[in-house]
Amino acid sequence: MNPKLEKLRAEQERVQRELEQAQHQQQRLENRLSYLSTGERRARAHRLITRGAAIESILPAVQPMTERAFYELMETVLTLPVVQSVIQSRLPQTGGDP
């Protein structure tokens, strides 16, 4: 056969293998991204559930409330200046002097 043609076929096979490897690597990265996103979603859902459960255990009267009534109550309570002050005092300090 023609040596030039053989060389081109070998080059085509090499490039095809590299393309397949790059596609597999891209798929692995996309799978990893999806896995990490799912993990973050699960962690957030867990946090929301446990905090909601904590509110209900501390204040059982909120259990029969509608979602709208609960949100209105939380908005009213959480915007009180004394509550805002307590919240601010409990937040982790960032930067600055120790």
CA distance linking residue 34 with residue 30, whole number of Å: 6
| Ramachandran quadrant class, 95 (left: phi over 0; alpha: psi -120 to 50; beta: rest) | left
pTM: 0.54
**Single-letter amino acid, residue 92:** P
Domain positions in the chain: 1-58, 60-90
Per-residue pLDDT of 5-51, as tens digits, reads 999 999 999 999 999 999 999 999 999 888 888 888 888 899 999 99
Residue 77 has pLDDT above 70, yes or no: yes
Q: Give per-residue pLDDT as tens, 82-94.
A: 999 999 999 998 6
